[in-house]
Structures are given as C-alpha cells and as structure tokens.
Chains A and B, each alone.
Chain A
C-alpha cells in the first residue's frame, strides 16, 4: 500500500533534489538539448570564492535580521495593543490584515509608485518635511531601508495574528493573581505574558525567517538589486545566475547553499522550541 505513495514522494521531492545536486557538479548547457558536462568541484569552489556571492550573503543577512527583527517587535506590540482593546477589535484586526493579502509583486509596484521622486506621495512628504531629499530607491542605504520597510509593512500583520492567537492562551487567573499582588503592566508582560507566548513567538519567528530567506519579488520590482548592488540579496543573485546567464550548474550550487542555510535556521528554531517544551 505504501509503494505508490513512496513513488509519488520520490517523484516530487527526491528526484528534483538529487537532480539539482548532480547539476551542481556539472556545466549545464541548454543548446541542442540539455547536456551536462561533469566539472567536479568547480561550481562549489566558485560558490566559496566568489566575492559577489559573499557580498550578497552579507546583504541578505542584514536584510534578514532587520525584517524579521522589526516584524517580530512591531507584530508583538500590535497584537498586545489589539488584545487590550475592549471594543472594535474585530474591525481593527480586519484592517490590520489587509497588507498581507496583497501579492508581493503589487507591494513592489506600489512601493515604486509611492517612492518615485517625481510623483511619489511618500517621496514628496519626505521631501517637504525635510526628512529626506534624495532619491529613495536610487540611493545606497535608503533603497535598502525602503525594501526592508515594504516587507515589514506586508508581513508584520501575520506576526501580529499569530501572537494574537497565542495571547488567548495566557492564563487569566495568573494575570489576576499578579494584579492582586500589585504587579504593574510591565511586570505582567515580562514575567507572565511573554513567557506564556514564547513558543508561539518562536513559531512566528520560524515562519517569517523561512520566508525572509526566499524574499524576491519586492526587490526585483523596485530596485532589481541596485543601486550599486546594495540590495542584491542572494535570491536576486541566484535569479541572475540561473535565468539571465543560464549558468545552471553554478546556480544549482548557489541554490543548495540557500537550502542548507534555511535548514540550519529551521533546525536552530525547532531545537530551541523543543528545549523550551521539555523545560516547561
């Protein structure tokens, strides 16, 4: 009974997986039919010596820490605020969730439109208030900040939603007891609420972290990795290698390093989660 299921599983996961590993040891040519020419460790040597790849990983790391960090922080604060509302929370939640229902491509197009130096509303506001008078998407630093904030705008509501679900499990009696003992909000937050939802926070962190590594559409639409490669995170670099240069063997090697990174991050979070569960 298991055979068909195993066969299907192999077809949709193992075959592509081993194919891409095999491709990473070959020069792949598309002309005149697909041909693979064994090149040994050449592609892997390039992955670890290519300064462009190193630079892209560094940018990815900055981007990863900034987006995930801000989303966790703002999402948690938003959830706490919504949870404390006595009336109208349903409407607030509905409004809050709108950004995450918008496709990332549309978010990119919106961002490009709103930040355009000639007609963009946000660019105009920043310019008029004297906060920033340059070209937001065309300057190093501000371009990175802009794409980070676009991602944060879109995905913070997801974190808020997850945390909000976690907040319903905070024991009311413990909170009441703490109140009776004279604990203020900060003390309740630090010693009761946050420890109670720490597992759910880890789940939110894991989901957003996995997504942030694969982030692509918004940068592709807004800056295409520029200016001066300042937003060229590793997925954008991988896209260039695979689908602009058609260097598919090398792209396979770069893609596998992304996969390994994702697995390491996921493992770290799940281990942390397990450790907390066993401790509690």
Chain B
C-alpha cells in the first residue's frame, strides 16, 4: 500500500515536471504521464532497441510516430518490417543463436509464440515491478479473447505478449447491390438477403449462386474467396469448419486460446467436419473461379474491381476499400452461422520481448510495449494518415470520438467495422485456430489437401481422411 502511494506521488510529480517542461504538452504526453513518472519513462534513456514486425498497418503508424516515443523516453527504436514468413525465419534463427538481434518481437501466436514462447520474457516480471510504468487501465482492458490468444501459452498465468493487432475475418459485401436487389432476391430466394446475425452459410451460398447466375449486371459472381494453396485457404475454410461445429482438435476453442504442446488426435473426420468440407466444396463451385489463385490481397483487389458481390475477408481491409471507388457502398457483418455458430477467424498478434536481450534493453523494450499498446497510441493509429490498425483495447472503443467514427462519414474507416468486430470477438463468435508448436506443418497439410479437393482430385471425405492421417503423424497422435 505504501509502495503504491509512493508510486502515485512519483507519478504526480513526474506528471507536473513533464507538463511544466513541455508547456502542458500534447494530450498524448499527458496521458503517458498518467502511466508513469517522467523518471520511470526515462530510465532507459539512450538505449537503442530493435523491433521486428510484420509489415502491418499498426506498425506503419507506429513507425511514423516514433519521435513521440523518443521524446517521452529517450529510447531509439529501429523498426524492421517484413513479410510474416521472413520474420518467423529471422526470429527463429535469432533464438537459435541465443542472441538478441531483435529486442521487441512481433510474436505471431502460431508461428512464434507457440514454438518459441520459452524465448520470450514473461511480462508479469514487468507488470509486477513497481518501478516500471503500469499498463494503462490494466491488462484487463485488452479484449479478453485476444489477450489469451495473443499472449498466453498453455496456462493462464504467464503472459508473453500484449495484443498488438487484431485482423479478423468478417463478411464484407456490396451493400449498394444488396439494397438494390433486396426485394427481387427475397422474392426469388424466399428469405431476406440482408446480412444479419441469423443468416446461415446455406443462405450465403444461395445469395452467391443468385449473383453468379447473372442476375445483377454490376458483378459477374456472387462470392470470392482467398483459396490459393496457401495459409489463406486454411483461414477461409476454418470459418466454415468452426461454424459447422467441426474442429482441428478436440477442445479446439481452449487450444486456440491457450495452446498446447500435445493437441491429441485430429478431429477432421468427425461428421461436422465432413459436412463443413462438403459445404465448402459446394460453395467454391459457385465462387469466382479466380478464388483458387487469390490470397487475402488478391480477393480484396478483385472485390474492389467489382468482380463479385461479397467475400469473407480480414476486417482491416475496410480501410483501403473505403478509400476506393466503393466508398460508402460496402456493408460489414459477422460471418454467417452454420449449424453450430458463427465463427470469425482471428488472425491477431502480440508483441513480446526477447529473453536473450540484456536487462537494459528489456527495460527499454517494456517501455515500448506499454506505449505501443496503450489506448492513446491506438487512438493515434486510428487517426494515422499512413495506416494504422484497429484497437485491441476495450476502452478505445468506448471513447466518444471513436464511437462517433463508427458511422459514415468518418476519418477512421476501420471503425466502420467496429460494431461487427465487437460481435466477432465475443467468445461465442471468435474463431481460433490451434495454437500448437507444429502449426506450420499442420497448416500446410490443411491447405494442401483442401487445394486438392478444390481441384477435384479428392472428395471431401478423402480430403479430411488424408489430412487427419498426416496431421496425426505430425503431432504424434
């Protein structure tokens, strides 16, 4: 209790000192003072740290605003941005060499956290250290499902990363076309086509087929998918798999949240999984034929080019779509539900600290983590002209200016998806792939076998059987 009071006094003194030094400063600086004293922020001044990140919108925004962090802490941050695959290689080799070429790591839950969590610092070390800045509003402010999925492995105590970005798959559709043809579709299909919480995948298929049959001159096809033989195909299929009640492993949601070293036998031959595979094959038959050569970017480009009316896509594409000719014509909704639920695959990531880094650099890295994931920095990201992701904190969504920005016209286009996302991240809506160390191999099996199914080389039953056999061999079940 005494320590807490002392810290508060220090914070207050630091805040006053900071405010007097900077002439009241910006709102951001004032908020930073609320997290810690000037002294605490300056404790690693002069240190240079290396941050390796996937080339994602939040990092682009952070990179453009590093001067604010340097002014606050005196720490220089060098950011290396690259494709996720290349990042994983560099991080793996860094850990393998037992060194710290990178101090702050974009810790993808599946490719970095699960196999290499022992190489990351347990952040509780800093959270419980009274000399360090507090995580503003506590770690409870992070969206709970994201905190567990991005930050933990195998138990609910150790925390290896703070949620940093949160792309999640949702239903993105041409609202203008749905509104224009609503009555006609309702008459011909027998249901209201406007996406709601009750829309099913079967209805999605019927809407897709309706558009693909040439009923709307504006688009050639109803739906497009990211079904290239790549990670994107697994993501696209997983939405359907989970919605139908299928799963890669038993207790899938738990394995998705906390991860495990030994997931047990693969569940892809269950009745629900087989039904999902059959439906997915049927759906792709009416989809734009380009789907089998598109990843997430390819399908978004084709949507933007007016090739089809709707798609399952990462919500963060809203920013670029709302800057295109389609501005104001797009609608967002959680993905349709199957017999079990609506599942919206989450693809977020946290940032963690390399355990091989020196204590000085670890301190500097922690300061960066606190700052980079703070509500005010996330708000800055939302307003950024160079990118910026969507917040991982509940308090940001509650800010009046953010709430106001969730309706058009807006200067925060990603926020147009906010209402949808808050549903998509609920425990009963979020789709989580297995967090296991062998994920890359398992993922490759899944998208390779699915690709064979879409190419007509295997039936859904053969596909799921073959995938199960291979996955069981990989995980040793």
A: residues with CB less than 8 A from B are 29-34, 115-119, 134-140, 143, 223-230, 240, 243-246
Contact = CB atoms under 8 A, between A and B. Distances in A.
A118 B306 CA distance: 9
| SS of B interface (majority) | helix
Given A30-B92, A34-B96, A116-B298, A224 B230 contact: yes
B292 A139 contact: yes
A244 B292 CA distance: 22
B95 A30 contact: yes
Interface of B: 85, 88-89, 92-93, 95-98, 115-116, 118-119, 227-230, 288-294, 298, 301-302, 305, 307, 440-441, 444, 448, 451-452, 454-455, 457
B454 A227 contact: yes
B304 to A, nearest CB: 10
B444 A228 contact: no
A98 B327 CA distance: 40
B98 A32 contact: yes
Nearest to A243: B89
B97 A31 contact: no
A227 B292 contact: yes
A245 B93 contact: no
A246 B92 contact: yes
Nearest to A222: B293
Nearest to B96: A30
Given A116-B298, A118-B302, A227 B451 contact: yes
Given A32-B98, A243-B89, A228 B305 contact: no
A29 B119 CA distance: 13
B229 A223 contact: yes
Given A34-B97, A224-B229, A226-B451, A244 B444 contact: yes
Contacts of B97: 33-34
Contact of B305 (A30, A115, A119): A119
Contacts of B290: 116-118, 135, 138
A30 B292 contact: no
Given A30-B92, A229-B229, A246-B92, A118 B444 contact: no
Contacts of B89: 243
A26 B307 CA distance: 51
Question: Most A CB atoms within 10 A — which of B85, B93, B290, B441?
Answer: B290
Given A30-B95, A30-B96, A227-B455, A118 B288 contact: yes
Given A30-B92, A31-B96, A244 B85 contact: yes
Contacts of A29: 96
Contacts of B95: 30-32
A30 B444 CA distance: 21
Given A117-B288, A118-B302, A226-B230, A138 B293 contact: yes
Given A33-B98, A243-B89, A137 B293 contact: yes
10 contacts: A29-B96, A31-B118, A118-B302, A118-B305, A138-B294, A226-B228, A226-B451, A228-B454, A228-B455, A244-B88
Question: Most A CB atoms within 10 A — which of B293, B294, B440, B441?
Answer: B293
Nearest to B457: A228
B307 A228 contact: no
A138 B289 contact: yes
Given A225-B229, A228-B229, A244-B444, A33 B301 contact: no
Contacts of B307: 118
A226 B455 CA distance: 10
A182 to B, nearest CB: 56
B440 A244 contact: yes
Contact of A229 (B116, B448, B454): B448
Contacts of B288: 117-118
